[in-house]
Chain A
């Protein structure tokens, strides 16, 4: 069936005309609300108070989600929303990494708010259509697509029965369907949000955000991966959301002052040109440049985070990815991104599944994917990593969670907690390529053991204990989840600060709040609890700011100015921080400094913590980590680094390991490390202005100007 025939099968449910409002200094001050229960479509004004306190992006998403839901709203209740908001800087093309959207929802994995930062053209195009945010609420009866046409000022909700479900086909079909012609100059004006078959049958569904790659003449995808937002999309029976723009002009945001933005952008582009080839090689390898580095520092998760390196890790070395990635393309996931790190493998021939034999573009692998579906599952075959990457994307599931969950199931299998009797005959040993591929196809079909793995680590722990008699205590130790979300792909055992950087996060263990391993473990820069607490205050607040703005984090510190070493705080990359402040002020016409920047984030960060508390979470007990994140659980793990652990026991704990069994040494190490983690929580809570139960104090919220009545109502019960 061609796209015209597919379109003929659409049933129009609702049409809504609107006047496209021009942006002014980064904002339209309007948002779009769509409810699929009754096909309501309406525009909402953004009150000035919301703009001041919540800024945009994740801030807007949190505020709208709070207002739309009740404390007991579940992920699959109709009132749960998916809110997509790009932020005031999104859509500029003169500085790298300014096309991100922030997506928030109540997560099926965690039952708290999830937020995910994603590229692709959707966010900027939504703004160009005149909306600072999009709220999707309610549930459709049959599969629908929503089309936001920013060229005509028209929004439609259409039943769409004929299009494909999997993203690599669906995004292409819809791009062609809604483009004015098949010429690249028109195709590039369409962006699509979609999920895929496995998003329907697992809790780890993600959203693909598309853009049209003019050079490749094909549709590319970026992912809002974490926390199951794709599962919600499919639960709402949304097949896709399409946005159409009239094109991209030089200043669609109508910024207050373009010159400083251009000047900083040119300065950054020069750094990329001159320094990136000698620094991270982001333009050649993307974040995949990290695989061998992490292996060298014993930080590459291997076999469910048991180990930090592997003898075969060279098979996933950055030079291997370099050879797979097509070079010399424009790999920016938004226009003007001179970092160009969205690398892709072209003409990859699939070896399994429904698309076997097809030659496809695979977006990635990025570091997290290479480690997640590679080393952490004991897989060191790059082509299998690429294949799993492709299927995760097109089926609409998160590579990070898929990797960590499958690794958990594999360890349970190897340790005899589950057997082939439970897996439907599948050998789930680490490194089993055939089983790994079968699992993902089962997830897409919604059948077999794949469906059980698709519950996530927390779901599997419960299921294995209740149905297979597996030991809950051991699974608690080795199951790499916190708050219900799977860990991303770094071994945190030797960095106490990173343990906090993972388990103290608002949404669950994703490294985007703080990545402190080098600072802590290698540089020994933050030795005291107070030092670590300062880092766990500053970096999560600083990094939250990207999510308020519609910015990508990578250009901040994946290339660094030549004189960065001579600055007073090189880890913060002061010149780039100054770029961001300059750009924010130039876009909005405001005049903030680096302190107000952190305050902006603090308001939203503490609001998110309060949101979790409102839902019955967000307390100290929810910041607990599985012991595998903090130290060796098993004898082989301890013995793989026995010399190091013994030395620490002697020097740090003051106990002589001589004559002790490995089990005894594991217990001593564990007591010490668990106690240190509790001390870290104390120090960080204090620094963040929280009680020792992890609750923001009313005084702190007042000081931040966030003592809103609904916030005070929640927090006053916990002071």
Chain B
């Protein structure tokens, strides 16, 4: 299986995976996110077009909010 890690969890990867799709797969619906792929910050306007490379280390940081 081709894979990536997302917040240290192993997740299946497929060719053409965008950030938008990845967030959908992870059910990450919270609006205040910071996404980094292999340490590189991905801007919100790139979520639909940026292709996540195989084996990459993705961090989706949820800023706190709540309460």
Contact = CB atoms under 8 A, between A and B. Distances in A.
B66 interface: yes
Interface stretch (B14-22, B24-32, B47-55): B24-32
Interface residues of B, number: 19
A573 B41 CA distance: 17
Given A515-B66, A558-B65, A565-B41, A292 B32 contact: no
Contact of B66 (A278, A290, A292, A573): A290
Task: Bin chain A's interface residue count.
Answer: 20 to 34
A490 B66 contact: yes
A544 B16 CA distance: 46
B62 A515 contact: no
A557 B32 CA distance: 10
A181 interface: no
A39 interface: no
A524 B8 contact: yes
A557 B65 contact: yes
A248 to B, nearest CB: 29
B37 to A, nearest CB: 13
B39 interface: no
Interface string A277-299: 01111000000001011001100
Nearest to B33: A565
B30 A518 contact: yes
Contacts of A512: 67
A292 B7 CA distance: 22
B64 A557 contact: yes
Given A297-B30, A524-B7, A565-B41, A570 B66 contact: no
B1 interface: no
Interface in A545-564: 553, 557-558, 560, 564
Contacts, number: 69
Nearest to A309: B27
Given A523-B7, A524-B8, A511 B66 contact: yes
Contacts of A524: 7-8
Contacts of A667: none
A570 B65 contact: no
Given A280-B65, A553-B67, A558-B65, A522 B7 contact: yes
A570 B61 contact: yes
A479 B67 CA distance: 22
Q: Specify the main secondary structure of chain B where it touches its partner.
A: loop
Given A296-B27, A512-B67, A553-B67, A525 B61 contact: yes
Nearest to A562: B44
Contacts of B41: 565-566
Contacts of B65: 280, 290, 515, 518, 557-558
Interface in A393-439: none
Interface centre among A278, A488, A522 (most CB of B within 10 A): A522
A279 B41 CA distance: 18
A296 B32 CA distance: 15
B63 A571 contact: yes
A329 interface: no
Given A280-B32, A515-B66, A565-B61, 15 more contacts: A279-B31, A296-B27, A490-B66, A515-B64, A518-B62, A518-B64, A519-B64, A522-B7, A523-B62, A557-B65, A558-B65, A560-B63, A566-B41, A570-B63, A571-B61
Interface of A: 278-281, 290, 292-293, 296-297, 488, 490, 511-512, 515-519, 522-525, 553, 557-558, 560, 564-566, 570-571, 573
29 contacts: A280-B31, A280-B32, A290-B65, A292-B29, A296-B27, A296-B29, A488-B67, A490-B66, A511-B66, A515-B66, A515-B67, A516-B64, A517-B66, A518-B62, A518-B65, A518-B66, A522-B7, A522-B62, A523-B59, A523-B61, A524-B7, A525-B61, A553-B67, A560-B32, A565-B41, A565-B61, A566-B41, A570-B34, A571-B61
